[in-house]
């Protein structure tokens, strides 16, 4: 699967390595191109996943503030609810096209 913003591939992974949660595809950290994400200070906490780390996407001219997010420290029960450990996995804003 690929995550593409303005024609730039931001992340790429085998379908078996990504996780679908609530309509979003979460890519393993190793699948995200180096240098594509910069930490954002935007705060948010999901009631069942935990504190979010938002990321600004910036790579090869493609830019999107708060265009990605991850959950570095999952709340108890989140892994069981999803069926796999997705700590640190990265999901993308709808402006980033994710496809097979």
Q: What is the CATH number of the domain that holds 82?
A: 2.170.150.40
Query: What integer pLDDT is reported at residue 10 of this predicted model?
Result: 97
Number of domains in the chain: 1
Residue 89 structure tokens: 């996995």
For residue 52, the 8-state DSSP code is: -
Residue 91 structure tokens: 């999901």
Residue 68 structure tokens: 């990605």
Domain containing 23: what range? 2-99
pLDDT band at 87 (very low <50, low <70, confident <90, very high): very high
Predicted TM-score (pTM) of the model is 0.95
Pairing relationship of beta strands 62-70 and 90-92 according to DSSP bridges? antiparallel
Distance CA 42, CA 34 (A): 21
Distance between first and last Cα of the chain: 4
Helices (H) and strands (E) counted in the chain, each on its own, are 1, 11
pLDDT band at 40 (very low <50, low <70, confident <90, very high): very high
């Amino acid at each position: 699967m690929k995550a593409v913003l303005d024609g730039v591939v931001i992340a790429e992974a085998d379908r078996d390595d990504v996780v679908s949660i609530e309509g979003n595809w979460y890519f393993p950290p190793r699948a995200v191109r180096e240098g594509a994400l910069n930490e954002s200070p935007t705060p948010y906490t999901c009631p069942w996943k935990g504190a979010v780390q938002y990321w600004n996407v910036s790579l090869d001219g493609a830019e999107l503030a708060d265009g990605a997010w991850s959950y570095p420290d999952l709340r108890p029960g989140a892994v069981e609810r999803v069926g796999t450990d997705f700590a640190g996995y990265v999901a993308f804003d709808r402006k980033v096209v994710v496809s097979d």
